[in-house]
Amino acid sequence: MRVVVVARTRMHRGTICIGALSDGGENLRLMTGNCEYHPTNCRYRVGQAWEVAVRACPDLQAPHLEDVAVLEARFLGMENDLPAFILGRVTPWRGSIHVLFDGLIEFTTNGSGYISESTGLPRSSTGFWFPDHGLIFRAQPRPAYYAGDGFRYLSYVGTAAAVPVIRAGTLVRVSLAKWWRPPDADPSFEYRCYAQLSGWY
């Protein structure tokens, strides 16, 4: 299939996750042939078009069903108009931060967005969004973009240099981190997938 790279997301231990969108509108995570994340110097860059042969990675857990192992890849060139390519294939969320992930997103007392089994699972762990307010970058306590209320936020995990403000109406890509809870948490504490912002167009 033909895919276009739409995101490079920083992961743990110096690796990155490659987000892609197929010509048919399928959100994908392009993993290595062993279903692992890529080193930061991997060849995939945002805006590149590739022809790939893939297989689904095993043991996927909803809502993270987009992981595919890349068995073969051939570089085709650059996509001339990335926003147009995306908008021709997906329907972004529009509005406040509360519309994200099918409206299932919740927020911690510190303002971090997440979903859990108790909130319900969205159809996908990646998506695109037109925010109705500008998103303000703060580097501390962690790199994040804050919604119009200055409290609720999405961690910034993209590899591009952060900009001070992402203007309202800008197309952005959001995703959910894998299931996690603090290692020292009480056994009754729920696993969560925390919401992230990985790029804008």
Judgement on whether residues 30 and 63 belong to the same structural domain of the protein: yes
Q: Which two tokens stand for residue 16?
A: 């990155």
Average pLDDT over residues 91-96: 98
Judgement on whether residues 151 and 72 belong to the same structural domain of the protein: no
Domain count, the chain: 2
Per-residue model confidence (pLDDT) at position 13:
83
pTM for the whole thing? 0.94
Judgement on whether residues 117 and 167 belong to the same structural domain of the protein: yes
Mean pLDDT of the chain: 96
Residues in the chain, how many? 201
Domain that holds residue 17: 2-84
Per-residue model confidence (pLDDT) at position 149:
87
- In angstroms, the Cα distances linking 117 to 1, 27, 30, 134 are 33, 22, 26, 30
pLDDT-derived band at 10 (thresholds 50, 70, 90) equals very high
Judgement on whether residues 18 and 72 belong to the same structural domain of the protein: yes
